[in-house]
Amino acid sequence: MALESPHPVRVKPRQVMADFGGLYAGNAVVAVLFACTGPVAIILTSGSRGGLAEADLVSWMFGGFFVNGFLTLALSLLYRQPLVFFWSIPGTVLVGPALAHMSFTEVIAAFVATGLVMLVLGLSGWVRRVMDWVPMPIVMAMVAGVFLRFGLDLVRAFQSAWWIALPMTAAFVILTASPRLGRALPPLIGALLVGALAVWSSGEFNPRAGDLFALVRPNLYVPQFSWAAMVELVLPLTITVLAVQNAQGVAILTANGHHPPVNTITVACGAGAIVTGFFGAVSTCLTGPVNAVISTSGEKERQYTAALFVALLGMAFGLMAPFFIRLMFATPPAFVAVLAGLAMLRVLQTAFVAAFRERSTLGALVCFLVTVADVPIFNIGAAFWGLVLGMATTRLLESDPPGPPAAK
């Protein structure tokens, strides 16, 4: 096996408490608040479009937060560095259209299969070689295509509920434009608070009948194998986890002085995707934004404690998933749409820049157009065909086809 060696010294509870401090607790709280706002809105938006029931969404969030929290605890302690695992946001977006023409259990089978693929790649040590063949501009064009609908929903919210969309967007812009204010109150959290105030003051907060507070009762699903789900979802999910999400997380941690174990991370994502898949959660990944928040300040050797606190807070959020979902469902659809759209702005910008900056731009354009058109072929979703046709365009019509770097 190609797994990297863990930290040579085992950490003890007393050492964890000595390393922990107010700075790392504060960073963890900010990171979890980010994960519990925009990304959760994306789950609710994609799942609702796919016709999922509240119980399905609750189970999804339990797997995404609670199970991945255990993974975060184990690896952050083992390697003595921040290694936070949550779920794939691009994968969440991919699932929405798939649920329109296949059952949730078929999609879950694709989650489990994706986990198996990542497990093999990590254990064999092939993950770096496989990723060398991935044409990143085309992958990012697919990401841009599937995320575009969130940007459009943000704009449309100004027509349907401007009294919610306008103050939320204004708060986000003000906090983003002022770095000092943005450090005190992250823009997305500020938009959430202002939006909640706007919803409350307008009398649009309408909780459903029954108890608002409840603890989770997760579902365990039996995956239903289908070739359509395997072909449509496994390749895009694997690519987005490894080449988009994990690559971003590894790059952020490396830039901040850490040495993330790439093969072990891939194995952990594979195992996590299999376990969380049975609860209905999309594939596990090494999260970029959360690891960025907790690894950019403080002493490098103590940042792992922030990851441990993130894991504990995330697990608590997963246990109370029904309460938070009912809170979100009690708000107007525009509130969730604006929150999800604002959360996706930077990601959408990054995807467009990476897709059309230098090479393989024609293939990236074809991939983007096919993905946005969202026309399934042979009952297989557009994201898969975007990748296939984009790669074919680049290989046939461009002078810089994708492939492994030339040997020096």
Q: Is residue 51 part of a domain?
A: yes
> Would you place residue 406 in the very low, low, confident or very high pLDDT band (cuts 50, 70, 90)?
very low
Q: Is residue 27 part of a domain?
A: yes
Helix then strand then coil, % of the chain, to nearest 5: 70, 0, 25
Burial class (CB in 10 A: 0-12, 13-18, 19+), 327: middle
- Predicted confidence at residue 104, as pLDDT, reads 95
Domain range for 214 is 13-135+209-332
| Residue 59 to residue 216: CA distance in whole angstroms | 8
| Residue 319 to residue 58: CA distance in whole angstroms | 9
> Would you place residue 265 in the very low, low, confident or very high pLDDT band (cuts 50, 70, 90)?
very high
Burial class (CB in 10 A: 0-12, 13-18, 19+), 3: middle
Exposure string of 4-22, with b = 16+ CB inside 10 Å and e = fewer, is: eeeeeeebeeeeeeebbee
- Predicted confidence at residue 296, as pLDDT, reads 79
Q: Is residue 89 part of a domain?
A: yes
- Predicted confidence at residue 355, as pLDDT, reads 87
How many domains does the chain fold into? Answer: 1
> Would you place residue 362 in the very low, low, confident or very high pLDDT band (cuts 50, 70, 90)?
very high
Q: Is residue 183 part of a domain?
A: no
| Lowest-confidence segment of 103-112, 162-171, 274-283, 330-339 by average pLDDT | 330-339
Q: Is residue 92 part of a domain?
A: yes
CA R_g for the chain: 21
* φ, ψ at 286 (rounded to 5°): -80, 115
> Would you place residue 405 in the very low, low, confident or very high pLDDT band (cuts 50, 70, 90)?
very low
| Residue 257 to residue 122: CA distance in whole angstroms | 23
Taking all residues of the chain, what is their mean pLDDT, rounded to a whole number?
Answer: 87
- Predicted confidence at residue 249, as pLDDT, reads 84
- Predicted confidence at residue 366, as pLDDT, reads 94
> Would you place residue 402 in the very low, low, confident or very high pLDDT band (cuts 50, 70, 90)?
low
| Lowest-confidence segment of 111-120, 145-154, 209-218 by average pLDDT | 209-218
Element (DSSP H or E) covering residue 87: strand 85-87
Report the first-to-last Cα separation within the chain, whole angstroms.
27
> Would you place residue 365 in the very low, low, confident or very high pLDDT band (cuts 50, 70, 90)?
very high
Give the tens place of pLDDT for each residue, 208-227: 766 777 888 999 999 999 99
The mean pLDDT value for 374-388 works out to 79
CB 283 within 8 A of CB 115: yes
| Residue 313 to residue 320: CA distance in whole angstroms | 11
pTM of the model: 0.79
Element (DSSP H or E) covering residue 85: strand 85-87
- Predicted confidence at residue 379, as pLDDT, reads 67
| Residue 70 to residue 127: CA distance in whole angstroms | 24
Residue 194 has pLDDT above 80, yes or no: yes
